[in-house]
Each structure stands twice: as structure tokens, then as C-alpha cells.
Structure 1
């Protein structure tokens, strides 16, 4: 006769799960006390009333506002595309210099990686605020912000992809006397091309979303229009902008998924 294994007391009474749940509650309480957050304020009469008014207006979108949204929307897509392209181009040599199977000098790799890491730690909103102050309000500040953001992200993704390629073709080309440029062109590029294109499409998708956010601080595009409608309490117009952003982001995501499947 086969007998089932006996469960321990901890397993029978789900003590581990209960401890985790109580720990989460405890951490929430500590966080609330530390930050001075009063959770009851989220559920008082005034907050719920404001929330109801906001949603009532947003559920009656001003569809006539659509004509004002098209031009900033195109600016947002152009910002994301140009920023992604330029940032990726600049990131390529840095990714190659960061890869241990391409550059054997450790200190060169270390310096390049430190530069990439420093760039990647800068928040996109901070970059947008800085370049808006330098270059003024408009898409140019947004393009430069997305360029730097793309550079940090693509440099990391590409150098990690380069370091995982098969070393056989590299060693074969080295054995016949090929130089570094020939090794990169004929051994590295063919192996990482699909990964590179997939990462590029993903970064472009992220940048379309990011361009909406950075536009809110004055970097141009539809985000700037979103800020204007919210500041004027025109939530019916805000609803139109949010709906358009949702459609564009979903469309780009479907397009990227389709292209990634074709590249696989």
C-alpha cells in the first residue's frame, strides 16, 4: 500500500505563507510611517469625490479635440524614431569596446563600461529637464534625451549579446590573419544581427512611451499637450490624448512582435 508523505506542521497550517503576508503588512506600515503617508487620505470624502468627477469627465471624451492631437502625436513618434536611431549608432562602437571577446585590454573595457553605466543611471525625466533648460521647449530636447537613453540601453544589450556569440568563427578568422574590422564584419555581425534588430525594436517601443512622459516636462510631443489639458482641468480632452497614446503604443507593440517573429 502506497502512503502519501506526511506534511509538516508548517505545511499543514500554511505558516510560511502567513509569515510572508504579515511581513508585507509590517513593511507597508513601516514605509507609511517613515514617509509620513496617511493611507486614509486616499479614501476620504474629498478624494473620492475628486476621483468621481475626474472619471466622469474622462468618460465623456471631447472627440472634436482629435484634430489637435495628430501633429503632436507625429512629433512624438518622430522623436522616438530619431532618438532611437542616433542613440543606437553611437552605442555600436561602445558595445564592441565593452565586449571581452573583441577587446582583450581590460582597462579599456572597464573605462567604456563605466561610461555606459553612468549614462544608464541618469533618469530620462532628469535628462529631459536639463536639455529643455539648455535647448528650450520642443522636440529637439526630446530627441537628445531619447538619444542618450537609447545609447545607455543599447550599449549594454549589444555588448552582452556580443559576449555570448560562438567563438569558433572569431578564432578561425584570426587564424587566417584577419584584422579586427574583418572579424567584426564577417564573424560578429552575422551572429548578432537578429538580436540587434530585436533589441532595436524593443528600445523604439520603450522610447515611444518615454517620449510621452518626457514631453510632460516640456520636451515636445504629445506629452506637452497632455500637460496643458491636465493643468486646465480639461479631462475630456485628456481622455482623447490617453486613448490615442494607447492605440499607438498597442499598434507599435503588435508591429514589433510581428517583426520579431519574422526575424526569429
Structure 2
């Protein structure tokens, strides 16, 4: 009897949740005045897109080599800068290292603020400050990487064995010496893994950043879409997919064989 009652209660909860989700969906559609008939009415445009998309403009590939290299270099540079600054900042954001609640709170608040800023907004801000170009993309990726990796590192530090730290403290070691000798050896491999993960994410993100003028192959994709050159769009997407696949394979190989 209890089993049936439990099943009925769970079923009621699930149906109630589905009902609430459907209501919220309908309300959201009503508020934004979504006209779903446009999907069927614009089927001709979809046909035009598919006709061009299924015929990649292979002759355009030579013009994509430089933007593709720029995208990779942006990702590498931005990831490197972000990780380099994230490591000391994450250490300062951990009480185990600083033994100072104020400094820890200050840095963690800063991390939280950085992570709340979307990539595209960061890119738009840097475009307004610096202008359109690859430097904007590098700085955007660096700030994003800093926020993400610093969070991962200080969360990892909080789980380490404090025995070596207490041993160093007992002999009068400085906070810097403790960080280098007792903390870093325990988190180093994780930091390398976080850096590789950030690089994978940044390669994909750098494509989107091109839409706001942050350089790379994303600019070419935005231009091709603006002029409805769907054959070029198809080729660019193929190149991006290959680039992302190669990046993921290299990262996985390094994690498996090196780290």
C-alpha cells in the first residue's frame, strides 16, 4: 500500500511540474509575442539556405587560413594569460593559504563578479575601449578564463591534505613558501587539466566573439551570414568543426599521456 501511495505521489509531483513548465512556456511566449506561424511561412528562405549550405564554396578556403590561425592564437594567448593570473589569485582566495578571512572574502567576491559578466558583454566592452581586432578577443578570453579557472583552482585547494601545510607552519615557513612547497604540488596536475579544459572552451567561444568584432574566423562567419553567402557559411562551419575536433583530441591526448 505504501509503495502504491509513493508511486502516486511521485506521479502527481511530476505531472504538476510538467504542468507548471508548460504554463511558464506559454506565458513566456505570450509576453515576447512569439509568432510560431513565421516558421512555416518562411520555409522558402529555409530552402534557399539549405541549397547554399549543402554546396560549400571550397574555393574560399584559402581566405580562411589566416583567420583560423588567428582564432587558435587568440585562444592560446587568452588561455595562457587567464591561467597565469588565475593561479596566484586563487591561492589568495583560499583561507588555507592566506589564513586571512578578509583577503579570502575580497578575492572570492572579485571572482564572483568576473564570472557574472557574459563573454559577449566583455568583448563589447573591450571593443569600445580598445577597438575591433584580435587583442580584444585575447583580453576577453583571458578575463573569462581567469574567472573560470580561479574558481576551479581555489575549490580544489580546499580539498587538499593540510598535513604538509601544518608541518611547514610549525617550522615557521612564510605563506609564500607554504603555497609553493605544500599547496602547489597537490594541485599542479589539476591546474594543467583546468587549463586544457579552458582552452577547449575558448576555441569554441572565440568563434562567437567574432560577431562583436573580436577577430578570428567568427568575423568571416558573421560577414558571410550578413551577405547570405550560405556556401561560404557551410565551409566556415566545416572548418570550425574540424578545428574544435582537433583541439579536443589534442587536449585529451595530453591529459591521458602527459598529465
- Name which of 90, 104, 111 aligns with 1:109: 104
Q: Which residue of 2 aligns with 1:30?
A: 27
Does 2:18 match 1:21? Answer: yes
Distance (Å, rounded) in 2 between the aligned partners of 1:40 and 1:7: 44
Q: Describe the SS at the equivalent of 1:223.
A: helix
Instruction: Report what 1:175 is aligned to.
Output: 170
Task: Kindly state the Cα deviation for residue 103 of structure 1 after the two structures are TM-superposed.
Answer: 1.3
Change (3 A) 1:63 1:172: same
**Shift of residue 263, structure 1, vs aligned partner:** 5.4
**Candidates 25, 36, 39, aligned match of 2:36:** 39
In structure 2, distance between residues paired with 1:157 and 1:93: 13
CA deviations on 1:176-223 (whole Å, 9 max, x unpaired) are 222222211221111101110110000011111111111111111000
Determine the C-alpha separation between the residues in 2 that align with 1:88 and 1:130: 21
Query: Is 1:126 aligned to 2:121, yes or no?
Result: yes
With 191-200 and 100-109 compared, the bigger mean Cα shift is at 100-109
Q: TM-score under structure 2 normalisation?
A: 0.93
Q: Distance in 2 between the 1:53 and 1:219 partners?
A: 29
Q: Hey, what's the Cα distance between the residues in 2 that align with 1:217 and 1:91?
A: 25
Aligned length: 259
- Alpha carbons 1:72, 1:222 under 8 Å: kept: yes
Q: Give yes or no for contact 2:119–2:140 (8 Å, CA) kept in 1.
A: yes
Q: Distance in 2 between matches of 1:186 and 1:135?
A: 40
Tell me if the contact between 2:98 and 2:175 (Cα under 8 Å) persists in the aligned partners.
no
User: Could you list the runs of 4 or more consecutive aligned residues of structure 1 that deviate by over 4 angstroms after TM superposition?
Assistant: 12-16
State the alpha-carbon separation in 2 of the partners of residues 240 and 59 from structure 1: 9
Partner of 2:200: 205
Name the structure 1 match of 2:249.
Answer: 254
Range that drifts further, 16-25 or 108-117 = 16-25
In the TM superposition, 1:31-180 aligns within 5 A as 31-42=28-39, 44-45=40-41, 47-180=42-175
Quote the Cα distance in structure 2 between the aligned partners of 1:121 and 1:14: 37
Distance of 2:3 and 2:110 partners within structure 1: 56
CA distance in 2, matches of 1:248, 1:59: 20
Q: Distance in 2 between matches of 1:228 and 1:206?
A: 23
The offset of 1:133, in angstroms, is: 2.3
**Structure 2, unpaired ranges of 5+:** none
Alignment of 1:240-251 (within 5 A): 240-251=235-246
* 1:30–1:179 Cα change, 3 Å: same
TM-score by length of 1: 0.91
Deviations 1:140-196 (A, max 9, x none): 111111111111111111111111111011111112222222211221111101110
Aligned to 1:7: 4
RMSD: 2.0
Q: Which residue of 2 aligns with 1:218?
A: 213
Displacement after TM superposition at 1:239 (Å)? 0.5
The aligned residue for residue 183 of structure 2 is 188
